[in-house]
Amino acid sequence: MTTFDPTRRAVFVTGGASGLGEATALYFVNQGHPVVVLDRDAAKCDSIAARLGDRGAVICGSVLDDADVQRAIDAARTFGELRWVIACAGGGEVGGRIVGKGGVPHDMGIFQRTLDLNVTGSFNTLRLAASAMSENNPDEDGERGAAVLITSGAGFEGQIGQIAYGSAKSALIGMTLIAARDLSSVGIRVNAIAPGVMNTSAWEQGPPELKTALEATVPFPKRLGEPEEFARLAEHLLSNRYMNGHVARLDGALRFAPK
């Protein structure tokens, strides 16, 4: 049986300088893993680098840039084998309705940028990381690595005004099973997480009453999800070797209304 030292099993987290990505990067470092973060926010990159210390590395760049992604992969391999990848980079812009007031059509630039950041960026991360992981020595199941994509409840029940974001997250749901089947030939598993409303630092900039109202819509438990709960689910999907091609909803049974 092949065994692996967790301190030599590098974890690559995109979008790891803020939000769920930041919480995930810090969680895995605390579990003894070396972590490499790729993020495009320079100021936040400096902050997460200080918190990771000598057990991590931070590459300030874009998931849409092959060279930036490759630099992060190369950095991860300096710690040992790159085994786990969590593609947290994503987000969106306020796009509005397909046809707005006065018959104005949805901004095409917003739609394309949202697809690029979420779908193209996640695929770029997956394809380059999977190529690197395919060179790893297999374990007793033939596994060489595992990846977690990040979609959203909006990919299942996108609300009015979320056409760009919901479409992008829906594409990642569809990508998960295809990628899992495709990468089975090189021993790499692919799963995804679809978070609902999570208690990230972004809520500090919003009105408290909005947060309270959202908490009331969650069936149980009636609160926002905690970032560590997200990180622990990512860890389970990465470490449970029979989990493959699965999209796990993390939302307290919340289902979004049309608007």
Q: pLDDT per position in the chain (259 positions), as tens?
A: 345 566 778 999 999 999 999 999 999 999 999 999 999 999 999 999 999 999 999 999 999 999 999 999 999 999 999 999 999 999 989 899 999 999 999 999 999 999 999 999 999 999 999 999 999 999 999 999 999 999 999 999 999 999 999 999 999 999 999 999 999 999 999 999 999 999 998 887 778 888 999 999 999 999 999 999 999 999 999 999 999 999 999 999 999 999 8
- Under DSSP, the state recorded for 12 is E
User: 12, 77, 27, 20: which is closest to 232 by C-alpha?
Assistant: 27
The whole model's pTM is what? Answer: 0.95
Q: Which amino acid is at 37?
A: V
127 CB-near residues (< 8 Å, 6+ apart): none
Q: Counting beta carbons within 10 angstroms of the beta carbon of residue 137, is it exposed (0 to 12), middle (13 to 18) or buried (19 or more)?
A: exposed
171 and 120 Cβ atoms separated by less than 8 Å: no
pLDDT computed for residue 195 by the predictor = 97
Which tokens sit at 85? Answer: 């990848």
Other CB atoms within a 10 A radius of the CB of residue 161 amount to: 17
Q: Please give the CATH number for the structural domain made up of 6-250.
A: 3.40.50.720
Kindly list the catalytic residues.
Answer: 165
CA distance 225 to 208: 16
CA pair distance 15, 153, nearest whole angstrom: 19
